[in-house]
C-alpha cells in the first residue's frame, strides 16, 4: 500500500488526508498543534461515517479510518511515497519544512505543497533536489471539490509533474496542469481579482455581500458566491494569502481596504468560528451578518 504523509491538519490537510485514505493510501497526518491534530482525526471520522451513510464511501468507515494515523513530527517522510505540505501560508515556515523533508524523504518521493499563492520554485529553493518539488493545490472542502491544480516549478522534473497528475487522478480528482510557476497559479488569481472588486463594491456601500453572492449564483451560474467562498476558506487564511500575494508584488489581486484584516482581528474568521461575512447557527445555517433571526 502506498503511503502519504500530510503535514498540517487544518481545514485543508484534514481534507487531503481524508481523500487519500478514502482512495486506498496509508496516510500519516501530522500537525505542530496537538489539539488541531486531534480535532482533525475526529472531523475525518465524522465525515467518513456521514459519507458512508449516504453511500458516497463504499468501504466500511473502519476500513478507511484504519488507514489513517496521527503522527508527531516529520519522521514518517522516511517511509512515504508522497509528502504533501498544508501548513499555514507562511513562506519562511514552509521553506523550513521543505528543507527538513529534503533530508528525511527518500530521493524518489515527490514533495508537494498545497500553497495557495507562493511560487513552488521559492519553496523548492530550500531543497537540494528542486526537481522533486511540485504544487498540488487542492480546493476546500477537499472531499467535495474535484479540482487540484498541479503546478510545475521552474526545476520540477517532467517525471515528477506527470506523477503528480496521475496521483491526483488516483484520488478521483481532476488535475489542472499549470505550466508556469506564477503567484496564485490560475484559479486563485481569478478568484482574488473577483474578490478584490467585490470587496470594493461593498466598501463603497453599493451592494451587500449577500446580494453579491446571490448575484453571482443567479446571474453567472456560480455554485457559491465569493463571500461564501471566503467564509468557507477561513478569513485568516484569505488574509495570509492576500499578504503573501502582496509580498510577491501582486498588489492588483489584493483588496485595497483593510476590511478582512479588521474582521480577523475581531475574531470573524469565517464558518469555522460561526462568524465571518455571514453568521452561522450551531447547525451550520448561514444568515446575513446583520439579520435578527
Ligand atoms: N482554506 C482554503 O480554502 C485553502 C485552499 C487551498 C489551499 N490552501 C492552503 O493550504 C494551506 C493550509 O490552509 P488551511 O486553510 O488548512 O489552514 P489552517 O489554518 O486550517 O491549517 C493550518 C494548520 O497548519 C498547522 N501548522 C502550523 N505550523 C505547523 C508546523 N510547523 N508543522 C505542522 N503543522 C503546522 C496549524 O496548526 C494548522 O492546524 C495554506 O498554505 C493555504 O494557503 C487553503
Q: Where are the domains of the chain?
A: 3-178, 187-281
Estimate the share of the chain in helix, then strand, then coil, as percent rounded to the nearest 5: 50, 15, 35
Give exposure, 129-164, as e/b (b: 16+ Cβ within 10 Å): ebbbbbbbbbbbbbbeeeebbbbbbebbbeebbebb
Query: Per CATH, the architecture of 187-281 is what?
Result: Orthogonal Bundle (1.10)
Confidence class for position 284, pLDDT limits 50, 70, 90: confident
User: Per the residue annotation, which of 149, 210, 228, 250 is the catalytic one?
Assistant: 149
The model's pLDDT over 176-224, given as tens digits with 9 standing for 90+, comes to 999 999 999 999 999 999 999 999 999 999 999 999 999 999 999 999 9
pTM above 0.85, yes or no: yes
**What pLDDT sits at residue 290?**
82
Distance (angstroms) between ligand 1 centre and the Cα of 198 equals 25
Asked if 149 is an active-site residue, the reply is: yes
pLDDT tens figures, 83-137: 999 999 999 999 999 999 999 999 999 999 999 999 999 999 999 999 999 999 9
Determine if ligand 1 sits within 6 Å of the CB of residue 115.
yes
Q: Relative to the CA of 40, which ligand 1 atom is closest?
A: 39
CATH value of 3-178 in 2.60.40.150, 3.40.50.720, 3.40.50.1700, 3.10.20.90:
3.40.50.720
Answer yes or no: is the C-beta of 88 below 6 A from any ligand 1 atom: yes
Give the pLDDT confidence score for residue 293 in this predicted structure: 55
pLDDT of res. 76: 98
- Which residue lies with its CA nearest to atom 24 of ligand 1? 87
Amino acid at each position: 500500500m502506498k503511503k502519504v504523509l500530510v503535514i498540517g491538519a487544518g481545514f485543508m490537510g484534514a481534507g487531503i488526508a481524508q481523500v487519500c485514505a478514502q482512495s486506498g493510501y496509508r496516510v500519516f497526518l501530522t500537525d505542530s498543534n496537538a489539539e488541531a491534530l486531534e480535532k482533525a482525526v475526529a472531523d475525518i471520522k465524522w465525515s467518513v461515517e456521514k459519507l458512508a451513510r449516504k453511500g458516497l464511501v463504499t468501504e466500511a468507515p473502519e476500513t478507511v479510518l484504519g488507514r489513517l494515523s496521527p503522527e508527531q513530527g516529520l519522521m514518517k517522510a522516511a517511509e512515504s511515497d508522497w509528502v504533501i505540505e498544508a501548513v499555514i501560508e507562511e513562506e519562511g515556515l514552509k521553506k523550513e519544512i521543505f528543507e527538513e523533508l529534503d533530508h528525511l524523504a527518500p530521493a524518489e518521493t515527490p514533495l508537494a505543497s498545497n500553497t495557495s499563492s507562493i511560487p513552488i520554485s521559492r519553496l523548492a529553493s530550500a531543497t537540494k533536489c528542486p526537481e522533486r518539488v511540485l504544487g498540488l493545490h487542492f480546493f476546500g472542502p477537499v472531499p467535495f471539490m474535484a479540482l487540484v491544480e498541479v503546478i510545475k516549478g521552474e526545476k520540477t522534473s517532467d517525471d515528477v509533474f506527470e506523477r503528480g497528475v496521475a496521483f491526483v487522478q488516483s484520488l478521483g480528482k481532476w488535475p489542472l496542469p499549470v505550466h508556469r510557476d506564477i503567484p496564485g497559479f490560475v484559479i486563485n488569481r481569478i478568484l482574488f481579482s473577483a474578490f478584490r472588486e467585490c470587496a470594493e463594491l461593498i466598501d463603497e456601500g453599493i451592494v451587500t455581500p449577500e446580494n453579491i453572492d446571490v448575484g453571482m449564483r443567479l446571474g453567472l451560474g456560480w455554485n457559491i458566491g465569493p463571500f461564501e467562498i471566503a467564509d468557507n476558506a477561513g478569513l485568516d487564511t484569505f488574509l495570509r494569502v492576500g499578504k503573501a500575494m502582496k509580498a510577491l508584488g501582486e498588489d492588483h489581486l489584493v483588496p485595497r481596504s483593510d476590511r478582512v484584516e479588521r474582521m480577523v482581528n475581531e475574531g470573524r474568521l469565517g464558518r469555522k468560528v460561526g462568524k465571518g461575512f455571514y453568521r452561522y447557527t450551531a447547525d451550520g445555517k448561514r444568515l446575513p451578518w446583520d439579520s435578527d433571526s
